[in-house]
Structure 1
Amino acid sequence: MFKQLIVYADGSPVEIVIRNYTAADFAGMIAIQQASFPPPFPSELWWNEAQLLQHVTLFPDGALCAEMNGRLIGSITGLRIGDEQLLGNHTWASITDNGYIRNHDPQGETLYIVDICVIPELRKAGIGKWLLQSMYELVVHQGMRRLLGGGRMPSYHRYADHVSPEQYLAGIVAGEYRDPVISFLLRCGRMPVGVAAHYLEDEESCNYAALMEWKNPFR
């Protein structure tokens, strides 16, 4: 994939490119994580080169980055999974092979989002939405049935003492609550299909995630 776009950063138009990342981009990919998750976030949870090598080897079509003026500013990664891999409950670690995607199924009907990240200073420029749009285009291009992924619910901890995660998710859809991640995914066209417990270690989300889907409208 390769496409050029104009986005507005601080009100000014700027051109970006969305393309597949390669081994030559590994340092830039890790730099995105460093900028987005600075210490005290543990550095061992950033992408490492071994994971990135699996992405570009096993499913290069699902390895996308955004670039501006020669600098990588955002990325999104996915893998194809079969329906049997989604039976029962799953966690981020189990469904993504701890980010190594060695469980990628070339015939899988679901494009599962492993990670999406944009550097902090450009998060209001709409780049994350364009990265997701590019994954929707991949779903259509490869004839998959849908896109799926678990979204953090970082504002849930404020309500967890009196609202269940399912009620919180329904409240976001109804406009009763605002959540920086789930509200963003809704604006990108994703629809909630459930809540996963123990999805990842995340105190703000109380370890829950909302499973958010986008269906291929041509299937």
Structure 2
Amino acid sequence: MFYKELYVYESNKPVKATIRNYKKADFDQLIQVQKEAFPPPFPEELLWNTEQLTNHISLFPDGALCVEIGGRIAGSITGLIVHLDDGDEDHSWAEVTDNGYIRNHDPEGNTLYIVDICISPAYRKLGLGKWMMQSMYESVVQLGLERLLGGGRMPGYHIQSADMSIAQYVEKVLQGELKDPVVSFLLRCGRTPVKPVANYLEDDESLNYGMLMEWKNPFKV
């Protein structure tokens, strides 16, 4: 099981945070965080439901983490283990995560795949997303996996798509000429780019592209 205490800063004030496995008693709060993070017009049927959350804590509790501040859940991150070799990158989020139900979790796999990361807007300036991602890196090491992998939205791409291809957009983000809210965040978390994937998820802002980014276990090189 996972449990970690740390301090984050709100302005200049240290605030104690706890990162731990989420459990059944947390489900209502986890769903509320998703509602806060993804308000309408985001489809409510795409938010976590109790069946998905039950699968997370029963099939792979090591991949079901939340961050708590002052007794309130401020965010969560969820993963599963899959087996993916180089060249297996052309997949959709729905395929690789079983639409978030993770019934395809493979304890013998080589990759911890991120299903979702979510922070309540009230807590987004505390750096909690980066700390939760770091916790998943620690799980990769603890479990002896080769890497962490996941696909991120590219919500800035629709603004530039008339003038550049997806490959050119990614390159400009990597060169610092453009900033993308998700890709730039993942870079700050230590993730490195693998490739953009077409038809990864239904997202108008990303034109349905997802940016696969990984973190390799430094003890498995």
| TM-score between both structures, scaled by the size of structure 2 | 0.96
Number of aligned residues: 219
Give the equivalent residue in structure 2 for 1:187: 188
Q: Kindly state the Cα deviation for residue 166 of structure 1 after the two structures are TM-superposed.
A: 1.2
Give the equivalent residue in structure 2 for 1:29: 30
Give the equivalent residue in structure 2 for 1:200: 201
Give the equivalent residue in structure 1 for 2:43: 42
What is the one-letter code of the residue matched to 2:207? C
Does the 8 Å CA contact 1:198/1:208 hold for their aligned counterparts? Answer: yes
What is the one-letter code of the residue matched to 1:97? D
| Identity across matched positions, percent | 59
Q: Kindly state the Cα deviation for residue 96 of structure 1 after the two structures are TM-superposed.
A: 0.3
Are positions 1:58 and 2:30 aligned together?
no
Q: Where does the alignment leave 5 or more consecutive residues of structure 2 unmatched?
A: none
Q: Kindly state the Cα deviation for residue 8 of structure 1 after the two structures are TM-superposed.
A: 1.0
Q: Residues of 1 paired with 2:152 and 2:71: CA distance?
A: 29
CA deviation string 1:152-178 (max 9, x = no partner): 100011110121111111111111110
Q: Kindly state the Cα deviation for residue 192 of structure 1 after the two structures are TM-superposed.
A: 0.3
CA deviation string 1:65-85 (max 9, x = no partner): 000111100000000001269
Give the alignment of 1:155-194 within 5 angstroms: 155-194=156-195
Q: Kindly state the Cα deviation for residue 26 of structure 1 after the two structures are TM-superposed.
A: 0.6
Q: Kindly state the Cα deviation for residue 122 of structure 1 after the two structures are TM-superposed.
A: 1.2
Q: Residues of 2 paired with 1:86 and 1:30: CA distance?
A: 35
Q: Residues of 1 paired with 2:117 and 2:181: CA distance?
A: 14
Give the equivalent residue in structure 1 for 2:121: 120
Q: Kindly state the Cα deviation for residue 141 of structure 1 after the two structures are TM-superposed.
A: 0.4
| TM-score between both structures, scaled by the size of structure 1 | 0.97
Q: Kindly state the Cα deviation for residue 128 of structure 1 after the two structures are TM-superposed.
A: 0.1
Q: Residues of 2 paired with 1:150 and 1:86: CA distance?
A: 15
Q: Residues of 1 paired with 2:206 and 2:92: CA distance?
A: 14
Does the 8 Å CA contact 2:89/2:197 hold for their aligned counterparts? Answer: no
Are positions 1:10 and 2:11 aligned together?
yes
CA deviation string 1:9-52 (max 9, x = no partner): 23321101000001111111101101111222221111000000
Does the 8 Å CA contact 1:146/1:215 hold for their aligned counterparts? Answer: yes
Does the 8 Å CA contact 1:55/1:62 hold for their aligned counterparts? Answer: yes
SS at match of 2:208: coil
Does the 8 Å CA contact 1:151/1:211 hold for their aligned counterparts? Answer: yes
In structure 2, the CA distance between the partners of 1:13 and 1:83, relative to structure 1 (3 Å rule), is same
Give the equivalent residue in structure 2 for 1:110: 111
Give the equivalent residue in structure 1 for 2:70: 69
Does the 8 Å CA contact 1:90/1:199 hold for their aligned counterparts? Answer: yes
SS at match of 2:151: strand
Moved over 6 A (4+): none
